[in-house]
A and B are shown apart, each in its own frame.
Chain A
Amino acid sequence: GIQVEQSPPDLILQEGANSTLRCNFSDSVNNLQWFHQNPWGQLINLFYIPSGTKQNGRLSATTVATERYSLLYISSSQTTDSGVYFCATSGGYQKVTFGIGTKLQVIP
């Protein structure tokens, strides 16, 4: 199956700083999503982005499908951005594979 690698595994930021999270995948995909998991375990959709670039407020994402990676940008980070960010993808019918996540801590 598809392998998904995320980096970095842990990240500590000062409030207001910018960051880039990376997701590499091992095969061609037809589905790629970024999620934020809050401390209560809820997975919140950030982007559905199998290719191209999208922006939503302080967050943006880019997927380069031909080179098998996706990037999540967080600008002007806030303490509420803390949590775990997951990349998840599939190459076929919904057998979605998640990465191990990037644990982000934003300190005041």
Chain B
Amino acid sequence: DTAVSQTPKYLVTQMGNDKSIKCEQNLGHDTMYWYKQDSKKFLKIMFSYNNKELIINETVPNRFSPKSPDKAHLNLHINSLELGDSAVYFCASSRLSGISYNEQFFGPGTRLTVL
């Protein structure tokens, strides 16, 4: 069974379009994340939800809107796509253990290409 899954794996679209990426985890974790990985492999945290509550909201254009319908799902909606949004987007999940977090488990990534 896939622990953290993302759909779609590839997404090619035109500038100005709106698109969504979905993420699901079956690990029973309480925290989920979205990361953006640029062409130089740098990973930047975008958002994090703990039990459906937004706990991390980095400096990200408000065209990006996360939504967590339940603990197992975290979706990312992007409005008015721009060329600079082209990247690989990773979803991850983790569990709070006491006062610290256990390791993150990552999805396979969604490669977004904006033309």
- Do A and B share a complex? no
Query: Which B residues lie at the A interface, using CB under 8 A?
Result: none
